[in-house]
Amino acid sequence: MKFAKAPAFRLIHASLLTLSFMAGVDASAPRTARLITSDGTTYTYDFVPAMPDHPTVLLLHGFPSTRHDWRYQIKDLTAAGYGIIAPDMLGYGDSDRPTDLEAYKLKRMSGHLNELLNHENINSVVGVGHDWGTMVLSKSLYWHPERFDKVAFLSTGYTPVGTFWDVDAANVASWEHFGYFQYGYWYFFNSYNAADLIEERVESAFSLFYHQKTSAWAQDFANIGAARAWLTANTTTSLPDFITENIREDWFAAFGRKGAFSASLSCYQSLMRGTQADDEKDVSNEGKKLRIPVLSVGGLRDQVARHEQLHETIRPWATGIHTIRDLDTGHWMLYEDPEGVSSLLLDFLKTDGSL
């Protein structure tokens, strides 16, 4: 792994950080900060600087999540001396929540992350994405490859720049192979009143997103028409054990407010409606190759982001070490098996990329 020579003030800061550990101060507690980018977009993020000779890990959450989804991993990574920077992604949490689909161009969002690293004087990172966060990570690897020393994809895989997302073909293929429409919910997310319906039935939506029965997620969420039917009936169920009261409170603080889903669904709608096309035409296949160590971690019981598909998205592009691991979880592995996720990340960080 490559580390750029740190400027003098960074070394001084690292020394002070070491002293704070020695003095008993909890230097691993995240500092919450805000950045206004050059185009006027505000991001809120949690940051812990790395100890000397430790890299910083960039943690990118997905849908419907916030930076708080990384709570367990942040604790474990920082306790081991690693730095973390975990933003609320555009459209989520305490970051800006525009509803103009042009704002969600992935090249633009990759530029925002680049500015965020500049702002904190971080030369390069280990990128880790979960769910939709892997989409932004995938594009950042193309637009700003110099920023990444290693990369990890959790639950969902690598989507190279220039990939045409044919949701119809993907649904037909999943029906043929698995007997259900894997991405049927995308049509609902792209519909004119999806955000309004979710916000009106937000308790029902929470039960749907964090379904008690992983085995029923295909039937109740993924299939065409299933999510709308669930919400229209205002269905609620008991929640899985991994949803603690703190997790619930943080989620409703972010998604229980008006307009939360009008913003967060924009990432799906921007892809469905061709917003990315102009930025991603005439791109280089060479630039899509993953020449750094890659870790992919799938959930064996995830019916929407299937583990075997996750790993296959990476194989054609990984020219270096590609480590494949699976956990006995559904989609929400950060919560379902936090120790397992943290252990894999820590091992990946400590080695040359092979586990």
Looking at the structure, do residues 318 and 263 belong to the same domain, yes or no? Answer: no
Looking at the structure, do residues 154 and 217 belong to the same domain, yes or no? Answer: no
Residue 284 lies in a domain: no
Q: Residue 153 and residue 298: Cα distance in Å, rounded?
A: 8
Give the pLDDT of residue 319. 95
**What average pLDDT score do residues 61-79 get?**
99
Residue 3 lies in a domain: no
Looking at the structure, do residues 48 and 82 belong to the same domain, yes or no? Answer: yes
Looking at the structure, do residues 188 and 266 belong to the same domain, yes or no? Answer: yes
Point out the domain boundary residue: 242, 272, 302. Answer: 272
Point out the domain boundary residue: 272, 306, 334. Answer: 272
Confidence grade of residue 8 (pLDDT, cut at 50, 70, 90): very low
Looking at the structure, do residues 146 and 177 belong to the same domain, yes or no? Answer: no
Write out the two tokens for 148.
């990444």
Cis previous bond, 64, omega within 30: yes
What is this structure's pTM? Answer: 0.92
Q: How confident is the model over 88-129, as pLDDT tens digits?
A: 999 999 999 999 999 999 999 999 999 999 999 999 999 999
Looking at the structure, do residues 155 and 268 belong to the same domain, yes or no? Answer: no
Q: Is the pLDDT at 327 greater than 50, yes or no?
A: yes
Q: Tell how strand 125-130 and strand 322-327 pair up.
A: unpaired
We report the CATH number of the domain holding residue 119 as: 3.40.50.1820
Give Cα separations from 270 to 11, 33, 63, 154, 193 (angstroms). Answer: 42, 28, 14, 22, 16
Residue 156 lies in a domain: yes
Nearest-CA neighbor of 91 among 276, 255, 275? 255
Q: Residue 85 and residue 276: Cα distance in Å, rounded?
A: 26
Q: How confident is the model over 238-260, as pLDDT tens digits?
A: 999 999 999 999 999 999 999 99
Give Cα separations from 129 to 26, 294, 345 (angstroms). Answer: 26, 12, 12
Looking at the structure, do residues 82 and 134 belong to the same domain, yes or no? Answer: yes
Looking at the structure, do residues 103 and 194 belong to the same domain, yes or no? Answer: no
Residue 4 lies in a domain: no
Confidence grade of residue 280 (pLDDT, cut at 50, 70, 90): very high
Residue 13 lies in a domain: no
Domain with 179, as residue range(s), is: 167-272
- The set of residues, in sequence order, having a beta carbon less than 8 Å from that of 11 and lying 6+ positions away, is 52
Looking at the structure, do residues 256 and 187 belong to the same domain, yes or no? Answer: yes
- Do 82 and 56 contact (CB within 8 A), yes or no? yes
Looking at the structure, do residues 248 and 294 belong to the same domain, yes or no? Answer: no
Q: Residue 20 and residue 4: Cα distance in Å, rounded?
A: 24
Looking at the structure, do residues 64 and 110 belong to the same domain, yes or no? Answer: yes
Q: Residue 256 and residue 128: Cα distance in Å, rounded?
A: 27
Residue 1 lies in a domain: no
Give the pLDDT of residue 353. 60
> How many domains does the structure of the chain reveal?
2
Looking at the structure, do residues 63 and 100 belong to the same domain, yes or no? Answer: yes
Give Cα separations from 288 to 2, 15, 139, 317, 330 (angstroms). Answer: 20, 38, 9, 7, 29
Give the pLDDT of residue 155. 99
Q: Tell how strand 322-327 and strand 294-299 pair up.
A: parallel
Residue 118 lies in a domain: yes
Q: Residue 327 and residue 343: Cα distance in Å, rounded?
A: 11
